[in-house]
Amino acid sequence: MNCRSIGRALATQAPRICACATAAFGILACGSDQVIGSTDLSPGKPDPTLVVQFEEQSVDVDLRTIETSNYKGLNLVGLVRAWERAKFEADINTLVFEFVGSEGFRPSSKDCDNLPGTQLNGGYIDPISRKLVWDESLGLRGCYSVSDTTHMIGHTSP
C-alpha cells in the first residue's frame, strides 16, 4: 500500500470535517524528508545546548556537535567532552560539579553533594533529552540523574 492509497483510505473513512487533517497526516507520515534523530528540534523538545560554567565564565555547548559514545545501547555525549568543548583552563580532577535541570532541580536539593570531577569520566548526557546517565560502577544515588539538564557548573574544591 502506498502513501496515496493510505491517505485516500483515511479520508474516505473519516468524517468530512476531518478528511483534510487525516489526509495531511497520511502524507506527513509517508514523507521522505522527515528529520529523525539528534537534529529533530520539534516543538517541545529541549534545546540541544548545555551551558557549561566555571567561575565567572560560561559557554553554550551545542551537544549535537560533540561525538557520542555508545553506553548500554544509547548514543550519549561524555560529560568530559562537554567540559573540554568549553575550553576552560582548569583540571576537572581538582573541581566539583553541580548540575541544574530546566525546572531548577539540583542534586543538592536532595542532599547530594557536588560531584567530584574525578567521577565525571563515568557521566554522560543524552544530546536529545539532556538527561544525565551515570556508569553504574560509580554507585551514585538517583539524584544525580538530572532530567533536561541545562547547566553543568564547575567549582573549585573547598
What digits encode the pLDDT tens for the residues 66-112? 999 999 999 999 999 999 999 999 999 999 999 999 999 999 999 99
Least confident interval from 38-42, 80-84, 130-134: 38-42
When divided into structural domains, the chain yields a total of: 2
For residue 139, being part of any structural domain is answered with yes
State in Å, rounded, how far the first CA of the chain is from the last one.
66
For residue 39, being part of any structural domain is answered with no
Whether residues 71 and 22 fall in one domain: no
* Cα angle: 55, vertex 120, 103; to 5 degrees: 65
Cα torsion 28, 34, 38, 39: sign: negative
Residue 86 lies in domain: 49-156
Whether residues 56 and 30 fall in one domain: no
Whether residues 29 and 59 fall in one domain: no
Whether residues 99 and 133 fall in one domain: yes
Whether residues 82 and 110 fall in one domain: yes
Read off the DSSP letter of residue 113.
P
pTM for the full model? 0.70
Whether residues 24 and 61 fall in one domain: no
Whether residues 73 and 29 fall in one domain: no
For residue 43, being part of any structural domain is answered with no
Query: 115-116 and 123-125 as β-strands: parallel, antiparallel, unpaired?
Result: unpaired
Whether residues 12 and 56 fall in one domain: no
- Residue 20 pLDDT more than 80? no
Q: How far apart are CA 98 and CA 76, in angstroms?
A: 19
Q: How far apart are CA 17 and CA 72, in angstroms?
A: 46
Whether residues 10 and 65 fall in one domain: no
For residue 40, being part of any structural domain is answered with no
Whether residues 100 and 147 fall in one domain: yes
Whether residues 15 and 76 fall in one domain: no
Whether residues 57 and 121 fall in one domain: yes
The predicted structure's pLDDT at residue 47: 73
Radius of gyration of the chain from its Cα atoms, rounded to whole angstroms: 21
- Answer whether 122's CB lies under 8 Å from 144's CB: no
Q: At what angle do helices 3-13 and 19-30 cross, to 10 degrees?
A: 160
User: Which grid cell sits at 98?
Assistant: 553541580
